[in-house]
């Protein structure tokens, strides 16, 4: 396959591979956001790009979207490193999709605040003409319509996605916001994020309101939010949420 690098100087556009592409093929698209902007990448359709195996892994091809610049792109080597969905990617948030004729409603969306995102396109199966349709945009991070960034907390050093929120920064109109990585885009697979709400006194109560929640209801054993009265998951359990539950907790 060939390597294809695309760095756009515009604030939006589409990604559609050339119509004469035939398998086997390996390409990547590198999207760099201007300073102060996020990368928004929406995947809408796939045709002749692999098949799902038991609904969990991709065989024969895939489209992979990564938050950041993958190590393969940095080194200029063959992207992806295989036909099966065995991980990969260069950022915290990486996911793969595949399908013979897959229309994604709503589209699979990635928001990246690292300044870059990579779309990898790899097909080994020689069935039909593989293609996909994706759209990209570079919205301002300050734009309230482009997602909800963490607010009021501080990132815990040397962790993937742990945050600390102190009550003195979350009072009155200065409410704090907690979001999954890349919200409102897809969150990473096989990731565990912890958000510690620290009270300055024992008699202070906290109110936690879930405004948006979209976790696979059929996989609550592995995709859920646990709220604990303490600093770890071994502390007393207050509530467990999954699916599309919206709830307000006071503790």
Q: What is the pLDDT of residues 176-222, one digit of tens each?
A: 888 887 777 777 667 789 999 998 888 888 889 998 888 888 888 88
What count of other Cβ atoms lies within 10 Å of the Cβ of residue 120?
26
- Does the pLDDT at position 83 exceed 60? no
Between CA 51 and CA 39 the distance in angstroms is 28
- The reported pLDDT for the residue numbered 145 is 64
Q: Which domains does the chain carry?
A: 12-137 (2.60.120.290)
Contact between residue 138 and residue 11 where contact means Cβ atoms under 8 Å apart: yes
- The reported pLDDT for the residue numbered 146 is 65
Overall average pLDDT of the 119-147 stretch: 81
Between CA 31 and CA 137 the distance in angstroms is 9
Between CA 5 and CA 178 the distance in angstroms is 34
- Does the pLDDT at position 48 exceed 50? yes
- The reported pLDDT for the residue numbered 226 is 93
- Does the pLDDT at position 6 exceed 60? no
- The reported pLDDT for the residue numbered 165 is 92
CA 24 to chain centre: 27
- The reported pLDDT for the residue numbered 4 is 39
Strand, helix or coil for residue 71 = helix
Antiparallel, parallel or unpaired: β 163-166 and 195-198: parallel
The tokens of 218 are what? 């059929």
Overall average pLDDT of the 104-116 stretch: 82
Overall average pLDDT of the 113-122 stretch: 87
- The reported pLDDT for the residue numbered 82 is 43
Q: What is the pLDDT of residues 159-183, one digit of tens each?
A: 878 899 998 888 877 788 888 877 7
Mean pLDDT of the chain: 80
- Does the pLDDT at position 5 exceed 70? no
Q: What is the pLDDT of residues 88-100, one digit of tens each?
A: 444 557 888 888 8
pTM reported for the whole predicted model = 0.65
CA 117 to chain centre: 11
- The reported pLDDT for the residue numbered 3 is 38
- Confidence at 228, pLDDT banded by 50, 70, 90: very high
Contact between residue 15 and residue 5 where contact means Cβ atoms under 8 Å apart: no
- The reported pLDDT for the residue numbered 92 is 59
- Does the pLDDT at position 87 exceed 70? no
Ranges 32-46, 147-161, 230-244: which has the least confidence: 147-161
């Amino acid at each position: 396959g060939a390597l294809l690098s695309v760095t756009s100087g515009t604030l939006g556009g589409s990604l559609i591979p050339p119509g004469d592409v035939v398998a086997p093929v390996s390409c990547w698209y590198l999207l760099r956001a201007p300073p102060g902007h996020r990368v928004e990448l929406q995947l809408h359709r796939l045709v002749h790009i692999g098949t799902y195996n038991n609904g969990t892994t991709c065989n024969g091809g895939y489209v992979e979207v990564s938050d950041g610049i993958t190590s393969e792109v940095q080194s200029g080597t063959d992207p992806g490193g295989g036909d099966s969905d065995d991980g990969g990617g260069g950022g915290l948030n990486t996911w793969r999709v595949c399908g013979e004729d897959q229309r994604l409603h709503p589209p699979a969306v990635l928001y990246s605040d690292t300044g870059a995102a990579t779309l990898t396109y790899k097909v080994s199966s020689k069935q039909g003409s593989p293609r996909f349709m994706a759209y990209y945009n570079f919205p301002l991070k300050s734009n309230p319509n482009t997602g909800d960034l963490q607010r009021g907390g501080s990132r815990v050093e040397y962790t993937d996605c742990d945050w600390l929120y102190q009550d003195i920064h979350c009072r009155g109109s200065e409410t704090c916001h907690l979001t999954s990585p890349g919200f409102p885009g897809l969150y990473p697979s096989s990731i565990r994020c912890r958000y510690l709400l620290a009270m300055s006194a024992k008699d202070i109560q906290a109110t936690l309101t879930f405004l948006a929640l979209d976790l696979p209801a059929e996989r609550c054993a592995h995709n859920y939010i646990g709220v604990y009265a303490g600093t770890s998951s071994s502390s007393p359990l207050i509530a467990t949420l999954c699916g599309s539950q919206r709830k307000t907790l006071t503790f």
